[in-house]
Amino acid sequence: MSKSITIRELLVRCLGMVLTSKVCPGTPITKWPKIILHAHNKGYLFTNMTFDSFVMAYRIPFWDERFANEIPEMEAGSILYVPWCVSQCNDKTALLKMLRSYPHEITEIIYYKRNSDTDLKRIKIRRNNHVEV
């Protein structure tokens, strides 16, 4: 994408993708603008170079259900919690590539399976942040 894009345009694009996807079906539509803006302000919202994938992710010290309901003020620990992600990218590995380039050392990724608010998945990470399949 050669055209520069503003933060506002990115956040609107992210919101549009979230609202048209089936991500976090239990979250009311009216809460999404606040969630996305807060995630951006905390540095927990990531996108790729083509701006067609977005991930909200932050480090936690251990799994606790409270992390599913509240965004921590500060990251801590080596577990990467991914509350949600959306993508319109044709590359099915785009989100995985984004997580592999996460800037902190992580030992585990915790996320909900596609279109679920209850089906939790945990993946242990090998050295150098490579996902173990």
Q: Where do the structural domains in the chain lie, given as residue ranges?
A: 7-131
Q: Which residue has the tokens 């009216």?
A: 30
Q: What is the pLDDT of residue 29?
A: 93
Domain 7-131 has CATH 2.60.120: no
Q: For position 1, what pLDDT does the model report?
A: 42
Instruction: Determine the Cα–Cα distance for residues 116 and 53; give it in Å rounded to an integer.
Output: 18
Q: What is the mean pLDDT of each run of 10 residues along the chain (133 residues)?
A: 79 95 89 96 92 93 88 91 90 78 85 79 72 48
What pLDDT is attached to residue 28? 93
Query: What pLDDT does residue 117 have?
Result: 73
In whole angstroms, what is the distance from residue 25 CA to residue 5 CA?
A: 29
